[in-house]
Copies of this chain bind each other. A is one copy, B any other.
Amino acid sequence: MVQSSKKNQGVPEPTIRRMPSYLAFSEGLLKKGQEFVSSTQIANYMNIDPTQVTKDLSYTSIVGKTRVGYEVRAMVDILSSFLGFTVMDQAFLVGAGSLGSALLHDDGLENFGLDIVAAFDVNPGIVGKKINDIEVFHIDQFRDLAQEMKAIIGIITVPAEYAQSVADLMAAWGVKAIWNFTPARIKVPDDIVVQNTSLYANLAIIFNKIHTDKEEAL
Q: A20-B204, A204-B84 are in contact. Are A8 and B198 (CB under 8 A)?
A: no
| Contact string against B for A residues 9-20, beta-carbon threshold 8 Å, 1 for contact and 0 otherwise | 101010011011
**What separation, in Å, do the CA atoms of A12 and B96 have in the docked complex?**
33
20 A-B Cβ contacts within 8 A?
A8-B208, A8-B215, A17-B205, A20-B201, A25-B160, A25-B184, A28-B160, A46-B185, A83-B208, A84-B211, A98-B108, A99-B108, A101-B105, A106-B199, A108-B199, A109-B203, A153-B206, A191-B213, A193-B209, A195-B206
Does A183 have its Cβ within 8 Å of any Cβ on chain B?
yes
B108 touching A5 by the CB < 8 A rule?
Answer: no
**What separation, in Å, do the CA atoms of A179 and B25 have in the docked complex?**
19
Residue from the list B24, B176, B200 in contact with A183, Cβ < 8 A = B24
Does A161 have its Cβ within 8 Å of any Cβ on chain B?
yes
Does A141 have its Cβ within 8 Å of any Cβ on chain B?
no
**What separation, in Å, do the CA atoms of A109 and B55 have in the docked complex?**
38
B210 touching A27 by the CB < 8 A rule?
Answer: no
Q: A2-B218, A109-B199, A198-B20 are in contact. Are A177 and B193 (CB under 8 A)?
A: no
Q: A4-B215, A9-B216 are in contact. Are A207 and B113 (CB under 8 A)?
A: yes
* Chain B residues, Cβ within 8 Å of A108: 97-99, 199-200
Distance of A32 from chain B, by nearest CB (Å) = 8
Does A74 have its Cβ within 8 Å of any Cβ on chain B?
no
Q: A21-B185, A102-B102, A108-B98 are in contact. Are A6 and B216 (CB under 8 A)?
A: yes
Residue from the list B7, B89, B187, B197 in contact with A207, Cβ < 8 A = B89
**What separation, in Å, do the CA atoms of A114 and B206 have in the docked complex?**
11
A213 touching B176 by the CB < 8 A rule?
Answer: yes
Top 6 A-B residue pairs of the complex, sorted by shortest distance between their CB atoms: A84-B207, A24-B160, A102-B102, A28-B161, A24-B183, A20-B183
A195 touching B185 by the CB < 8 A rule?
Answer: no
* Chain B residues, Cβ within 8 Å of A87: 207
